Structure 1
Amino acid sequence: MKRYRIDSRSVLFFSLLILTAGCGGSINADYSKLDLVDVSGTVTLDGQPLSGATVAFEAGDGTFSSGVTNESGDFKLMFNSEQSGCLTGDKTVRIQFKGDSENPDEESEEEGGTSTQPQSIIPEQYNKKSTLKASVDSSHTTFEFDLKSKP
C-alpha cells in the first residue's frame, strides 16, 4: 500500500484556493438569453393594502420569481437576488407571509405548555392551494390581486 504525505503547506494552499474561489461577489450571469420581463403589482386584502407579504409567480416546472409587498401593497418581482424580472408564461401566484406555518393548525410547544400557532390571515386558496393565475408576457406585466379573508 502506497502512502501519501500531506504537509501543512499543501493543506493551507488548498484551503485558500477553495475560499477564494467562492468569493466572487456578484453573480456573473448573462440574463440576455432569458425571456425576462419586469413584473409589478399591488396586493390588497379586503380592499386594504397588504404589507409584508411575499408574492411568488411560479411556473409549472417549479421555477419562480418573487417580491415582498411594501406598506402600500406594491411589489416588484425579482428573478434572483441580483436580477429583477420574471420569465414569461403561465404562472400560479402564491401570496403568503414569511412567518406563515406550513401547518397552521399544528401545535407548538412553548414554556408552560402548548399553544396553537395563529392561522394566517391569508387563506390557503391564495398560497398553498392557490387558485390565483397570471399569464406573463411583454404586454402583461402589471397585476392587481384583491384577496378576500373570507371566501
Structure 2
Amino acid sequence: MQINFHKFLCAICLLTTTLIAGCSGGGADTPKLGQVSGTITLDGQPLTQASVTFQPQSGAPSVGMTDASGKYELAYTPDTKGAIPGQHTVRISKMGEPGSPNDTEDQVPAKFNQNSKLTAEVKEGENTVNFDLDSKAK
C-alpha cells in the first residue's frame, strides 16, 4: 500500500490543529475567523501539492494544500474553514514525490518554510492572499 505523502502531511497538520483547538476549548469557543484563500506560484509556475500553514502570533495555526493550479483554502479545523484574524507567519512546503530519490527533501527553499519571513495579515471576512515565490531572490 502506497501512502500519498502530501495528503498524509496535510492530515497530520489538520489533526494537530484539531488537537490544539480541542485543548483550548474548541467547539463553541471557536474564535471569529477570516476566510483565507489564494494562489501560490514558484518561479512563475503554480506550486502544486504544497502545504500552506498560517501561524498566528497566538492561537492555533490554519493549514491548507494547494491544488493543480496552485490554489489553496485554509482550514482552522477539519470542519471549520478560516484563520484567526491578525498577523501570521506563513510557511509553504512541498516534499518530493513519494518513492522518488528526493521524497524527503522540501522542494521549496527554506526561506519560505522553516526559515520563513513570509507574513500575512488576516482580517474578518474574505481574504485573498497570493504568494509569487522566487527561488533565486535573496
**Length-normalised TM-score, structure 2:** 0.69
Using the alignment, how far apart are the partners of 2:106 and 2:72 within structure 1? 20
1:142 is aligned to 2:128: yes
1:106 paired residue number: none
Matched, 1:92 2:89: yes
Higher relative contact order (Cα pairs below 8 Å, separated by 6+ residues) = 2
Change over 3 Å in CA distance of 1:129–1:62 after alignment to 2: farther
Structure 1 residue 148, shift from structure 2 partner: 1.2
Deviating runs (4+, > 4 A) in structure 1? 115-119
Alpha carbons 1:54, 1:95 under 8 Å: kept: yes
Structure 2 residue runs of 5 or longer lacking an equivalent are 1-21
1:112 counterpart residue number: none
**Quick check: 1:121–1:149 contact (8 Å CA) kept in 2?**
no
Distance, in Å, in 2 between the alignment partners of 1:124 and 1:140 is 29
Separation in 1, partners of 2:103, 2:75 = 30
Larger helix proportion of the pair? 2
1:126 aligned residue: 112
Report which of the two structures shows the higher radius of gyration computed on alpha carbons.
Answer: 1
Q: What 5-or-longer segments of structure 1 have no aligned partner?
A: 1-26, 101-114
Query: Hey, what does 2:5 align to over in structure 1?
Result: none
Q: 1:83 to 1:118 in 2, by over 3 A?
A: closer
8 A contact 2:96–2:107 mirrored in 1: no
**Residue 128 of structure 1: SS of its match in structure 2?**
coil
CA distance in 2, matches of 1:138, 1:43: 21
Contact 2:96/2:102, CA 8 A, preserved across alignment: no
The answer for the alignment partner of 1:29 in structure 2 is: 27
Q: Number of residues paired by the alignment?
A: 110
| 1:41, distance to aligned residue in structure 2 (A) | 0.5
Cα distance in 2 for partners of 1:135, 1:99 equals: 29
The amino acid across from 2:82 in the alignment is G
**Structural RMSD (CA):** 2.6
Work out the CA distance in 2 between the residues paired with 1:67 and 1:83: 12
2:88/2:122 contact within 8 Å kept: yes
Residues 56 and 87, structure 2, Cα contact 8 Å, conserved in 1: yes
Q: Identity across aligned pairs (percent)?
A: 37
Aligned counterparts of 1:35 and 1:123: Cα–Cα separation in 2: 32
Distance between the aligned counterparts of 2:44 and 2:67, measured in 1? 15
